[in-house]
Amino acid sequence: MAWRGLCLLALVAGFAPPSPQRSAPCRPRRPPTRLHVEATVEEPVEDEETPEEDEEIWLNPAAAQHPTRTLGEALMLGDVVLCVRDVADADELEALRADGVAAMERQGAKPNGKNRFSVSDALAFEYDVVERCEALLLGVLDILDDDYPEIYDALFKPGDGWSARQPKSRLFSEGSEPDEFLGETCASLRDLYMMGELEWSEGEPAINVYTEGGGFGHHKDHMALSVLIPLSDPDDFAGGGTGYWSSAACPPSWPDGAPPDAEPDAVVRPPLGTAIVFGGDVTHAGLPIDAGLRSVFVASLLTRTPASPPDRVNGLQQSQGSGSLREARY
């Protein structure tokens, strides 16, 4: 009845009523930071909890003072690690942690304490886990698109100079750049995801589960961007965390697996609900845990190119011919 009334009023006013619009499903945005306003009522009013602000961890502090460089360019150069707060509820993350632990128990825990499961592996996870991981990842991509659009512009947007904006530890030959039309049809990370135009690190997105003594050795991801989301509360384990080394300590030419000569410039053990975002030339390591259990969701991604290996473009699909989640859900 309300819609019919609106239509009648619109016709009387001399214009056509608007049509209901549909939008692509997106994760609800995080609540905006609220400014405190003094209450005028007699009873005191408690302040609403203010969401914690995102944090920039500068591995090269001097780069933070650059007058024109964007955050996306700083990520590209390996100068900064970005911690994005409030990307998911604790219950969502703890459920994925439990799924990873269940996969480890079914398949047997590794003696070295490092257990890694591709989310697309049907032997490790049911399809509902795949869907929940997709919702988590898309939520982070939406936040980056909305709050940090310069990340897409600097690291993913196809067009002139794309190769020069990719990790220096990975060389792209002539003719191996993304199709230029993607620069016109895909304006965001979500667009690239929905169009199937991303390349992923081998076996990713993945859930890693570390038990006592478990860690992930020093390495670079060689992708445009890595997203690491802890699934365990820092109080659930001792030691651990992710160590990061600056480009001064480990330049792009630093070989994977070679221990750095110095302690990490930063060790990140963020609260549950944080996504850690960093560039592909940053040397980092999952530091061994001394006790307890640590689990993380990780996805490293790059704009798809004609040279992308066929087994690296499936992402969360269970097989190359199974059809994508985009086709199944949207």
Q: What is the CATH number of the domain that holds 180?
A: 2.60.120.620
Domain that holds residue 84: 55-329
Residue 113: exposure state from Cβ atoms within 10 A (0-12, 13-18, ≥19): middle
Tell me if 49 is assigned to some domain.
no
| Per-residue model confidence (pLDDT) at position 29 | 43
Tell me if 16 is assigned to some domain.
no
Residue 10, pLDDT above cutoff 50: no
Residue that is written with structure tokens 């590794």 in the block:
110
| Per-residue model confidence (pLDDT) at position 9 | 39
Tell me if 271 is assigned to some domain.
yes
Residue that is written with structure tokens 């961007």 in the block:
225
Name the pLDDT band for 231 (thresholds 50, 70, 90): very high
Tell me if 31 is assigned to some domain.
no
CA distance 153 to 156: 6
Tell me if 206 is assigned to some domain.
yes
| Helix then strand then coil, % of the chain, to nearest 5 | 30, 20, 50
Structural contact between residues 229 and 93, judged by C-beta atoms closer than 8 angstroms: yes
Residue 34, pLDDT above cutoff 80: no
What's the Cα-to-Cα distance from 274 to each of 17, 88, 106, 143, rounded to whole Å?
Answer: 43, 8, 28, 12
| Per-residue model confidence (pLDDT) at position 149 | 97
| Per-residue model confidence (pLDDT) at position 33 | 32
| Per-residue model confidence (pLDDT) at position 112 | 96
| Per-residue model confidence (pLDDT) at position 49 | 58
CA distance 73 to 126: 38
Lowest mean pLDDT among 24-28, 230-234, 264-268: 24-28
Each residue of 75-93: pLDDT tens digit? Answer: 999 999 999 999 999 999 9
CA distance 283 to 52: 27
Tell me if 25 is assigned to some domain.
no
Tell me if 120 is assigned to some domain.
yes
Name the pLDDT band for 39 (thresholds 50, 70, 90): very low
Average pLDDT, the chain: 84
Each residue of 260-306: pLDDT tens digit? Answer: 989 999 999 999 999 999 999 999 999 999 999 999 999 999 999 99
Higher per-residue pLDDT: 159 or 116: 116
Residue 11, pLDDT above cutoff 70: no
Name the pLDDT band for 171 (thresholds 50, 70, 90): confident
Mean of pLDDT values over 83-106: 97
**Token digits of residue 224:** 């445009």
Structural contact between residues 179 and 273, judged by C-beta atoms closer than 8 angstroms: no
Lowest mean pLDDT among 13-27, 252-266, 284-298: 13-27
Count of structural domains within the chain: 1
Tell me if 198 is assigned to some domain.
yes
Residue 320, pLDDT above cutoff 80: no
Mean of pLDDT values over 211-228: 95
